Amino acid sequence: MKIFKFGGASVKDAESVKNVSMVLQSQGFAKCLLVISAMGKTTNELEKVVELYFKKDNYQTEIEKIKRKHIEIAEGLFPENHAVFAEINLFFDDIDSFLRRNKSPNYNFVYDQVVSCGEMISTKIVSEYLNEIQFTNQWLDARDYVKTDNSYREGVVNWTNTEELIARLNNESCYVTQGFIGSDENNFTVTLGREGSDYSAAIFAYCLDAEAMTIWKDVPGVMTGDPRKFQDVTLLSNISYEEAIEMAYYGASVIHPKTLQPLQQKNIPFYVKSFVDPTKEGTKVGASDKNQNEESYILKENQTLLKISTRDFSFIAEDHMSLIFGYLSKYKIKVSLMQNSAISLALCLEDKFNTIDELNNELQKVFETEVVKDVSLFTVRNAKMENIDKFYQEKSVLLEQISKNTLQMVTK
């Protein structure tokens, strides 16, 4: 079986959905499972609905705007009396009904129940359209197959249950399902982390022993840098799982960090290709004697630099580290870079849940701290060390770290 994942940009409007069918035609639509993201910027728009709901503001107008956009997309794909229009209305009625009935003050719980609807609606439209043009497929609710704990917005997959459920699928059929979502033991929706659709595709690939997995993007493949941020970048045609994992960890947006481990465990080849020109080879990630180690550039923005030091000039010891990392886990803050000296620890952090101030308040009971928000982590992989001076030009460097072939700096 082949797994294809299409992101939001590839299904942003009616013409884009039609282009998905052209991509499938070029690849052969047989024995495949499609993982589809929410259309365009729908996830951002549904996040706004949740924010307005908690502010007790008029979220209904925003829901109506998102519904109208999806109906317009469907009008470009289906005759006016098609059943999909009733389905779209039903999904949006469900969002409104949930928010009117909800009593939970848990932001993350409410977020997952609302924001996940973007994927549900998107996949229903794409599945119905493909059936309409004789690309026969079955629509699946991913929540019936991907089982997680109840860590809302960062669900941890229960692999035993998930494998058992996905193994029931027919390997000879074609399916359309959602990325980004699963469900807990009470069947409440749990999302797998922002941009988690790639991870969903890898979960299905692993559990189905897929022949290959392909992510379709609006770029030619994995580049030596984001072309929107760096000049003169080139395509990496072959890279190893290890290199891809490093790039994803450092913040390469083209690959989701959790995606690669399930694929590597079963040695499933992973391709990143362009839905604009599906005939091009793109990037292959996997075991190969052609793998490249080119100098690559990654910019991870919206980071926070936290400097921690002891009040009595004693060493930052193991018990201090244990306390600090316990708090990081409690507040779901991820470490992008760390550097310690005898009496201080510097951490470049990713604050997805906006809890950095709470963390800092806890730490200030024991340590001296300094917080610098809105910094960037710039990483050069496979750096040519004889030329690294150029990377410091016009940058205010707050922290730097150099290993054998990697240069990293936190900049303001």
Q: What is the 3-state secondary structure (H, E, C) of 201-223?
A: HHHHHHHCCCCEEEEEECCCCCE
For every residue of 48-71, DSSP letters joined together read HHHHHHHTT---HHHHHHHHHHHH
Determine if residue 228 is labeled as part of a ligand binding site: yes
Determine if residue 286 is labeled as part of a ligand binding site: no
Q: How confident is the model at residue 256 (pLDDT cuts 50, 70, 90)?
A: confident
Secondary structure element (H or E) that encloses residue 303, with its range: strand 296-309
Q: Are 390 and 376 in contact (CB under 8 A)?
A: no
At 226, phi and psi to the nearest 5?
A: -65, 115
Q: What is the pLDDT of residue 409?
A: 96
Q: What is the pLDDT of residue 212?
A: 96
As its CATH architecture, domain 2-217 has 3-Layer(aba) Sandwich (3.40)
Q: Are 260 and 285 in contact (CB under 8 A)?
A: yes
Q: How confident is the model at residue 306 (pLDDT cuts 50, 70, 90)?
A: very high
Q: What is the pLDDT of residue 28?
A: 84
pLDDT above 90: residue 91: yes
Q: What is the pLDDT of residue 196?
A: 87
Q: How confident is the model at residue 68 (pLDDT cuts 50, 70, 90)?
A: very high
Q: What is the pLDDT of residue 146?
A: 98
Per-domain residue ranges of the chain: 2-217, 296-411
pLDDT above 80: residue 195: no
Give the integer Cα–Cα distance in Å for 180 and 194. 7
Give the integer Cα–Cα distance in Å for 291 and 371. 40
Instruction: Report pLDDT digits (tens) over 111-163.
Output: 999 999 999 999 999 999 999 999 999 999 999 999 999 999 999 999 999 99
Q: Residue written as tokens 């939001």?
A: 8
Distance of CA 62 to the CA centre of its chain: 24
- DSSP H helical ranges for 267-395: 318-330, 356-363
Percent of the chain with pLDDT over 70: 100
pLDDT above 90: residue 291: no
What is the pLDDT averaged over residues 171-198?
94
What is the pLDDT averaged over residues 89-110?
97
Q: What is the pLDDT of residue 316?
A: 87
Q: How confident is the model at residue 308 (pLDDT cuts 50, 70, 90)?
A: very high
pLDDT above 80: residue 27: yes
Determine if residue 311 is labeled as part of a ligand binding site: no
Secondary structure element (H or E) that encloses residue 94, with its range: helix 84-101
Q: What is the pLDDT of residue 246?
A: 87
What is the pLDDT averaged over residues 102-111?
97
Give the number of residues written for the chain: 412
pTM over 0.85, yes/no: yes
Q: What is the pLDDT of residue 186?
A: 96
pLDDT above 80: residue 253: no
Q: What is the pLDDT of residue 128?
A: 98
Determine if residue 6 is labeled as part of a ligand binding site: yes
Q: What is the pLDDT of residue 59?
A: 97
Mean pLDDT for the chain? 94
Give the integer Cα–Cα distance in Å for 135 and 25. 9
Q: What is the pLDDT of residue 223?
A: 93
Determine if residue 221 is labeled as part of a ligand binding site: no
What is the pLDDT averaged over residues 266-275?
95
What is the pLDDT averaged over residues 48-69?
97
Edge-to-edge order in the sheet of strand 368-381: 334-340, 344-350, 296-309, 368-381, 406-411, 397-402
Structure tokens at 351: 């604050």
Instruction: Report pLDDT digits (tens) over 343-395.
Output: 899 999 999 899 999 999 999 999 999 999 999 999 999 998 888 888 898 88
Residue range 296-411 forms a domain whose CATH class is alpha beta
What is the pLDDT averaged over residues 170-185?
96
Determine if residue 5 is labeled as part of a ligand binding site: yes
Structure tokens at 46: 């549904």
Q: How confident is the model at residue 29 (pLDDT cuts 50, 70, 90)?
A: confident
Q: How confident is the model at residue 210 (pLDDT cuts 50, 70, 90)?
A: very high
332 exposed, middle or buried (CB, 10 Å; 0-12, 13-18, 19+)?
middle
At 79, phi and psi to the nearest 5?
A: -65, 155
Q: What is the pLDDT of residue 107?
A: 97
Give the integer Cα–Cα distance in Å for 70 and 131. 18
What is the pLDDT averaged over residues 248-268?
88
Determine if residue 8 is labeled as part of a ligand binding site: yes
Give the integer Cα–Cα distance in Å for 228 and 34. 27
